[in-house]
Structure 1
Amino acid sequence: MAGAAPARTLLDVLEASARAHPDAPALDTSTGSRADGGSGLLDYRALTARVTELADRLAAAGIGRGDRVGVRVPSGTAELYLAILAVLHTGAAYVPVDADDPDERAELIWADAAVCAVIGAGCEIVPRPAQRPGGRPGRPGPDDDAWIIFTSGTTGRPKGVAVSHRSAAAFVDAEARIFLTDAPLGPGDRVLAGLSVAFDASCEEMWLAWRHGACLVPAPRSLVRAGVDLGPWLVERGVTVASTVPTLVALWPVESLARVRLLILGGEACPAGLVDRLAAPGRELWNTYGPTETTVVACAALLTPGQPVRIGTPLDGWEIAVVNSEGKPVAWHETGELLIGGVGAARYLDPAKDAEKFCPHPWLRGPRVYRSGDLVVAEPEGLVFVGRADEQVKLAGRRVELGEI
C-alpha cells in the first residue's frame, strides 16, 4: 500500500482545476433542448465566480470555519452544487438532506448536527435561531470538516459522520491514481451525477469531475428512479463516466453505456452476471467498497468477466486488516471481520458511539481503526465480500438498520 497524497483541501482541488481549465465545462444542468440554449452550462471560471458570490453571502451572515450549514436543495439543479461548494469555500461543513426526505428527518439531522443555517431552494439562506454562527473567517484547513453525512443507526436514530478535508481530498487523489491511468479523465469527460447528495457516494460523482477539469452532469431524480428511462438520457447528454449502485445500472439498456469509458459500482454486492453484461472494450469497470465512516471508498478492484467479484485492495493511504473473533489476523482464504484505518478514518458526532467503533488495533497503524462489521475473505488478489456480522441490510446502496425501521 502506498502512502496518502499530500494533505490539502477540497477547495484546493477545485481551484487547481479552475486554474488549469478555466474555460472547460464544469457543471451542466441544461435540458439539452434547443430552446434551452445551454443556459444551464457553467465553465470553471463562471462556477467559481458563482460560488464566491454565494460564499460571500454566507460569510456576511457570520458563517465561517467550524460552522455547519444544512443543504436541502432540489436535486439536478445548479443551486444544489453551488450551495455545497459555497459552504466549503467559507470553511464550514455542509450537512446534506435530500429535498424529498420528510421534514421530520431533516429537523432531526439539523438538530443533531447543530447547523447554524440551512440553504434551501433558490440558495435562500435560512438562519437557525437555536445555533448562532460562531465560525472563524478564512479558508478551510485540511483538518476542518468538509461534510457531515447521516447514516442509518441501530437505535432507530441516524448517526452523523464527519469527514475532514484531509480525508476527502486524500480520497479524491487516491482514486485519481487508479482510474484510467492510460487515458486520464479530463475536460472532455462528462460525469453523471445521479445519486442523492445525502448519500456519501455523491461525493465521488462530484469530485471525479472537479478533480480532473471534467463536467458534472446532474440527472433529474425522476429519471434516476425510473431506471430504464435514464438510458437514452445518458446518450443524449454524452455521459462518459458513471458511478452508481448495481441495482440501478442493471436497469439501464447496455447500449446506453456505449460512450461510458469509466463505470464504477459500489454501495452493495455486485453480481457476477452484471460484470459479464457491463464489461466492454475501451471501458474500465470497477467495484468499490467503503463505509461512510471511512470516507466513501476504502478498497477498489478492477472487474473482469469470468473472474471472482472482489472489493479489492485498499486505496493509497487506507489500511485494512481481516481479523477473527479474537481480533487476530486470519490466514489467506479465511473469513473474518474487516477493520479499516488510515487517512480515511472519519468520526461520529456522538463521542460515545465514536469511542465504541473507532479504536486502536495492534495490526494497524494510527489511533483510529473502524470496525466495519463486514465479513470478507482474505485473498492475495483482493478481498471478497461475503456478508454482515449483524442484521444490517442494504437498499439501493444505502445502509439500513432494522432498528431504524
Structure 2
Amino acid sequence: MVTTVPATPNPSLNPSLIPMSAPEPVPGFGGETGPAREPGAGTGRFPAGSARRSPGPAPDAVAVSGPGGELTYRELYRRVDDLAAVLRERGVGPEVPVGLCMERTTGMVVALLAVWSAGGAYVPLDPAFPEDRLRLMREDAGIGLVLTQPGVDRRLVAGVPQVLSLTAGGEVPPAAGTALSAPGAALPSATDGGPVPAALASASASASASASASASASASASASASASASASGDGDGDGDGPVSAALASAPGDGLAYVIYTSGSTGRPKGVEVPRDAVANLLASFADRPGLLPEDRWLAVTTLSFDISVLELLLPLACGARVVVASAEQAADGPALRALAVAERITVMQATPATWRILLEAGGVPETIRLRLCGGEALPRDLADALLAPGADLWNVYGPTETTVWSTAGIVGPPSAGIDLGEAIARTSLYVLDDRGLPVTDGEAGELHIGGAGLARGYRGMPARTAERFLPDPFAGRPGARMYATGDLVRNAPDGRLEYLGRADRQVKIRGFRIELGEIETVLRSAERVRQAAAGVCEGPDGLPRLVAYVVPASLPAPEGLWGTLRGRLRESLPEYMVPAHLVTLDALPLTPNGKLDRAALPAPDWTASPTTPYRAPSTPAEDELATMWAEVLGVDRPIGVDDDFFELGGHSLTAAQIIARVQSRFGAAVPIVVLFEHPTVAGLARCLDDLDDDDLDLAEIAALRDQLDGLDAEELAAIFDELAPGS
C-alpha cells in the first residue's frame, strides 16, 4: 500500500498532472499521510501517546554494559549530566557539532547522550577511517571539539582546537581539562559555520536557541531543566528515560547528528538529522516491534553507520539494556556469538553480512527472539537461515536521509516473498515515475519518502539538497518535502512493496552505501593511471564485490600497479570502499554518445594468477589452509602460500568464514585480526603454530578428528572406556 495524492493538491503544481483521489493512511505503524512535523514546533520528546510515556526505567537496572564496565540507569544519568556540564563550559550548545572519535565502549554511549544533553549535535569520526578522510569530515562539519579516548591514535585528532579524552566508562579524568586543551576556545555553529562565543554557547540550551520566540524559549528551558533533573540520578524512576531527556534539552528541530556518507563528487557528504526525526523513529519502534525491560540488545554497528542510532538508543528509551560489542568482537564471528551467548542477548540488528558472520560461527543463539536485518537487500536464503521457532525476523529499510529506517515488516515463511514491509509512524511512501506521478500496481518506479523522518539535507550543499529533497505535492501542507531515494521499487498487486535495485550509480556492499564516483576519483588521481572506473560484480561466492577498472598511463601495465593503487585507496577511503580486484584495460568501453558504458565493463577473471609467484604448500597445515581459501573464495586454481588473501578478493565476511573453519578444523581459538595481520597462507600457518602452547601438531589434531568422525557410537564408547581411569 502506498500513500496517494490528497484531494487538495499543491496549487503551485499543474492540476492536470495530479490524480484527484482521497488520501489513504499509511498502514502498519499508525502512519499518517504526509509529515506531521512543523519546523521548529517539536520538543525532541517522544510524541504524546507513544510507548515512551510509560514510567521511566528502574534506576538500579543495568542500562549499558560492554568495554568500560556496566552502568545502571542511575549511573548513566549521572555521567551524562557530568559530561554535559563540561561540554557546556567548553562552548557546546544548540547547533554546535561535536566529533566523537571513540572506541566501542560504554563511554561512547555516555558521550553521545552528553552531547545531546548539552544541546549539541554529534558527528561520528570512526577511528578505523583514514586520517585524511576524518580531516575532511571535521573541516566540512566545522568541528572545534572532539571527544576521544586514550586508545585512539592521536594523529586522527591532530589540529582540532579542543580535544577531550574520556575514560572507557565515559568519565572526564581530573586533569583532562588542562592536559589537552583549554575550554575557552570558540566553537563553530552548525547553522552559520562561524564561531560562537564560549560565554554564549555555555548558557542554557533554551536561551541559546530561541532568541526570537519567548514562548518557545520557555518550553525549551523547561525541557532542559527537566533533563538536568533527570540526569541528577535521584532514582525516583518516574521521569523521562535518558534518551528522551537528552533529546529534550534543545528544540525538536535542532540538529541531532551529522553522518557522512559516500559522495559522488569524491568528497563525503554530511546528512543533517534533526532531533524530532530521531524521536519519531524511536517512538515508532518502541510501539512496534517494541521492547521489554528485560530485553538485552547487542550493539554491533559502527557509530558512523546510522543504524547504530536505533540499537544504541531504543533499548534505553524502553528501559532495556544495551550490550556494546567491541570492534574486535563485532568483526569476529565466534567472538560475537560467544558474547551473545554469555550476555543472553534477546535482540540484535545487523546487515546481511554480519548475520552471515554469526551463522558461519555456529548459528544465531536461540535466545535472540527479535532479529532485525537491513542496510541492503535481504536474500531469501539468509532469511530462511534466520527464521527460527520463537523468533521474529524483521526486514527493515531506509536511507540515511530519512533517519535510519522508514519501513519495517515481519518476514514470512519460505513460501512468501520478501518485501520492504510497511511505513513506520508519520511516514509517507510514494512510488513515482520519471514525471513525478504515481505508478500503477505492478509498474516499477522510484521510491520517494516524506514525513517526520526527513533530514534537513546535505551540510553545505544547497544544490545537492534541492536535487534530492523535493517539494511534496501529496502532503497537503505548504513547505512539505519528500526525499528521492534513487531506489527502484514495485507496488505488487497484493500491496507489497518490492525492492528492485538502484536507479543510479550508488551501490551497497555489506550494508554500506557507496558512490562509485568517489572510488573513481581516487583511482584517477594516481600518477600511473590514465582513465579509471569502478563497478560491482558478483564474486565466486555469489556476493557482490567492488572492482576497479584502470587504463594504465603506459602499456603493458607496470609491475606492482595494483599494490600501489590499493595503498592509495586505503589512505583515502574506508576499507569497505577498497575494491577487491583490479582489471586493466586498453581503453574504457564507451556508448555511441561517448559516455562510459558501464554495462560493457568486463567481469573479472577470478581465477587469474596473481602477480605473486606461486609457491606450493610445504606443510600439512599450509595445505589445509590453502584448500580452505580456495573453497571460501571460489578460486579454482591452486592457492600459493604467498598469495595475499585480500588481493584474491577476500573481505571481512570471507575472513570470518576462514577463521570459523580454522577454529573448527584445528580446535584453535584464533582472533579474526590474526588473518588481517598475516594475510598469506604461510603467515597464518606460522601464527597458528605460535598460538599452539601445548606443543600439539595442528595437522595431527585434524587427522585425529577425521579418524573420530569415521567411528560409530559403539567404537567411540570403547575408546573412552580404555581411556577411563583404572581401565
Q: Same fold (TM over 0.5)?
A: yes
Q: Does 1:83 align with 2:197?
A: no
Q: After superposition, what is the alpha-carbon deviation per residue over 1:326-352, rounded to whole angstroms, capped at 9, x for unaligned?
A: 211111121110001111110211222
1:149 corresponds to which of 253, 259, 270? 259
Contact 1:342 1:365 in 2 (8 A): no
User: Distance in 2 between the 1:284 and 1:333 partners?
Assistant: 28
Name the amino acid aligned to 1:137: S
User: In the alignment, what sits opposite 2:597?
Assistant: none
User: In the alignment, what sits opposite 2:462?
Assistant: 351
2:508 corresponds to which of 377, 386, 394? 394
Q: Does 1:163 align with 2:273?
A: yes
Q: After superposition, what is the alpha-carbon deviation per residue over 1:14-35, rounded to whole angstroms, capped at 9, x for unaligned?
A: x9788332121110015xxxxx
Give, in angstroms, the shift of residue 187 of structure 1: 2.2
User: In the alignment, what sits opposite 1:45?
Assistant: 74
Q: How do 1:335-350 and structure 2 match up within 5 A?
A: 335-346=444-455, 347-349=457-459, 350=461
Contact 1:17 1:211 in 2 (8 A): no
1:324 corresponds to which of 433, 441, 446? 433
User: Distance in 2 between the 1:257 and 1:324 partners?
Assistant: 44
User: Distance in 1 between the 2:313 and 2:300 partners?
Assistant: 13
Aligned-pair identity in percent equals: 37
Contact 1:235 1:256 in 2 (8 A): no
User: Distance in 2 between the 1:99 and 1:170 partners?
Assistant: 29
User: Distance in 2 between the 1:119 and 1:63 partners?
Assistant: 12
Give the direction of change, closer, same or farther, for the CA distance of 1:164–1:276 in structure 2 (3 Å limit).
same
User: In the alignment, what sits opposite 1:220?
Assistant: 326
Q: Does 1:26 align with 2:87?
A: no
Q: After superposition, what is the alpha-carbon deviation per residue over 1:107-150, rounded to whole angstroms, capped at 9, x for unaligned?
A: 11111111221111142676787844454522211111111101
Q: After superposition, what is the alpha-carbon deviation per residue over 1:195-227, rounded to whole angstroms, capped at 9, x for unaligned?
A: 000100000101221111111101111122123
1:137 corresponds to which of 200, 204, 218? 204
User: In the alignment, what sits opposite 1:271?
Assistant: 379
Give the direction of change, closer, same or farther, for the CA distance of 1:89–1:11 in structure 2 (3 Å limit).
farther
Contact 1:17 1:213 in 2 (8 A): no
User: Distance in 2 between the 1:88 and 1:298 partners?
Assistant: 23
User: Distance in 2 between the 1:284 and 1:334 partners?
Assistant: 30
Q: After superposition, what is the alpha-carbon deviation per residue over 1:52-99, rounded to whole angstroms, capped at 9, x for unaligned?
A: 001110011121112111111112x12211111110001100011112
Contact 2:507 2:514 in 1 (8 A): yes
Gap runs ≥5 in structure 2: 1-25, 150-164, 167-175, 189-194, 206-248, 520-727
Contact 2:299 2:311 in 1 (8 A): yes
2:134 corresponds to which of 106, 126, 131? 106
Give the direction of change, closer, same or farther, for the CA distance of 1:322–1:211 in structure 2 (3 Å limit).
same
Contact 1:321 1:364 in 2 (8 A): no
User: In the alignment, what sits opposite 1:249?
Assistant: 355
Give the direction of change, closer, same or farther, for the CA distance of 1:397–1:93 in structure 2 (3 Å limit).
same
User: In the alignment, what sits opposite 1:33?
Assistant: none
Give, in angstroms, the shift of residue 106 of structure 1: 1.2
User: In the alignment, what sits opposite 2:525?
Assistant: none
Contact 2:371 2:393 in 1 (8 A): yes
Give the direction of change, closer, same or farther, for the CA distance of 1:299–1:23 in structure 2 (3 Å limit).
same
User: Distance in 2 between the 1:130 and 1:316 partners?
Assistant: 36
Contact 2:145 2:187 in 1 (8 A): no
User: Distance in 1 between the 2:390 and 2:262 partners?
Assistant: 37
Contact 1:170 1:344 in 2 (8 A): yes
Give, in angstroms, the shift of residue 246 of structure 1: 0.7
| TM-score, structure 1 normalization | 0.91
User: In the alignment, what sits opposite 1:200?
Assistant: 306
User: In the alignment, what sits opposite 1:363?
Assistant: 474
* Greater C-alpha radius of gyration: 2
Name the amino acid aligned to 1:200: D
SS at match of 2:419: coil
Contact 2:397 2:406 in 1 (8 A): yes
User: In the alignment, what sits opposite 2:419?
Assistant: 310
| TM-score, structure 2 normalization | 0.52
Name the amino acid aligned to 1:358: F
Give, in angstroms, the shift of residue 229 of structure 1: 3.5
Q: Which has the higher contact order (CA 8 A, sep 6+)?
A: 1
How many residues of Structure 1 are paired with residues of Structure 2 in the alignment?
392
Contact 1:375 1:385 in 2 (8 A): yes
Give, in angstroms, the shift of residue 41 of structure 1: 0.8
SS at match of 1:222: helix
The runs of at least 4 consecutive aligned structure 1 residues that moved more than 4 Å come to: 4-8, 10-13, 15-18, 124-130
User: Distance in 2 between the 1:5 and 1:40 partners?
Assistant: 40
Gap runs ≥5 in structure 1: 31-38
Name the amino acid aligned to 2:70: L
User: In the alignment, what sits opposite 1:9?
Assistant: 44
SS at match of 1:251: helix
Give the direction of change, closer, same or farther, for the CA distance of 1:83–1:17 in structure 2 (3 Å limit).
farther
Q: Does 1:298 align with 2:406?
A: yes
Name the amino acid aligned to 2:491: A
User: Distance in 1 between the 2:347 and 2:45 partners?
Assistant: 20
User: Distance in 2 between the 1:111 and 1:300 partners?
Assistant: 35
Contact 2:447 2:487 in 1 (8 A): yes
Name the amino acid aligned to 1:58: L
User: Distance in 2 between the 1:27 and 1:217 partners?
Assistant: 6
User: Distance in 2 between the 1:238 and 1:48 partners?
Assistant: 25
Name the amino acid aligned to 2:443: E
User: In the alignment, what sits opposite 1:35?
Assistant: none
Q: After superposition, what is the alpha-carbon deviation per residue over 1:159-180, rounded to whole angstroms, capped at 9, x for unaligned?
A: 101111111100111112220x
Give the direction of change, closer, same or farther, for the CA distance of 1:129–1:62 in structure 2 (3 Å limit).
closer
Give the direction of change, closer, same or farther, for the CA distance of 1:60–1:16 in structure 2 (3 Å limit).
farther
Contact 1:10 1:168 in 2 (8 A): no
Structure in which a larger fraction of residues adopt strand: 1
SS at match of 1:372: strand
Give the direction of change, closer, same or farther, for the CA distance of 1:365–1:399 in structure 2 (3 Å limit).
farther
Contact 2:43 2:250 in 1 (8 A): no
User: Distance in 2 between the 1:301 and 1:335 partners?
Assistant: 21
Name the amino acid aligned to 1:240: T
